[in-house]
Amino acid sequence: MYHKNNAGLTFFQNIKFIFIVFIFIVGIFNLFFPSFTFAQSPSLSSLKENKCCVPILLAPMSIDDNGDLLISWADNRTGNWEIFFTKSTDNGKTFEDSINVSNSPNGKSENVEIVSEQDNIYITFWDNKTGEIAPYIVASENSGETFNRPLLLNTSNTS
């Protein structure tokens, strides 16, 4: 008599059951606590109105071809959220004075990213200084000594 082993199928049925129960519990939780979120990013409308719960505070890093540590972050030290840059040439023991690379007194800059290649450093961020939230980029061709003015990236949907 031939007996078929369904142990593998049972395992996947258990995973499916656990997943369905999890989705159900999350749905019930959201039904009774609709305003609760585990981690809330600012909405585009809150950024546009310059109202925000809490900005996402990250300090992305990169290492250039010289081994210098490059860091960029959003900071409110000017009374307005701006994007700053600094670098360390001694493995993070000391850092140069920070540079405001967004220079956006009429907007809020956040969600920064940084990459580097050779002496070139590129920093992207989002800002609402035009009244609409939009992506910007600044670049340095001299290892962060100077940066160009923020360049608004094209956000149109052209084919």
HEC states along 96-120? CCCEECCCCCCCCEEEEEEEEECCE
Structure tokens at 26: 């999350």
Residue 38 has pLDDT above 80, yes or no: no
User: 0.75 cut: is pTM over it?
Assistant: no
Instruction: Say which amino acid occupies 51.
Output: K
57: pLDDT strictly greater than 70:
no
Is pLDDT at 141 greater than 70 in this prediction? yes
Between 48-57, 128-137, 142-151, the lowest mean confidence (pLDDT) is in 48-57
Provide the CB-side half-sphere exposure for 2 (13 A, CA). Answer: 1
pLDDT computed for residue 21 by the predictor? 60
Maximum mean pLDDT: which of 44-53, 72-81, 87-96, 126-135: 87-96
**Cβ atoms within 10 Å, residue 136:** 21
**pLDDT tens string 90-126:** 989 999 999 999 998 888 898 899 999 989 999 999 9
Q: Which fold has domain 45-152?
A: Thrombin, subunit H (2.40.10)
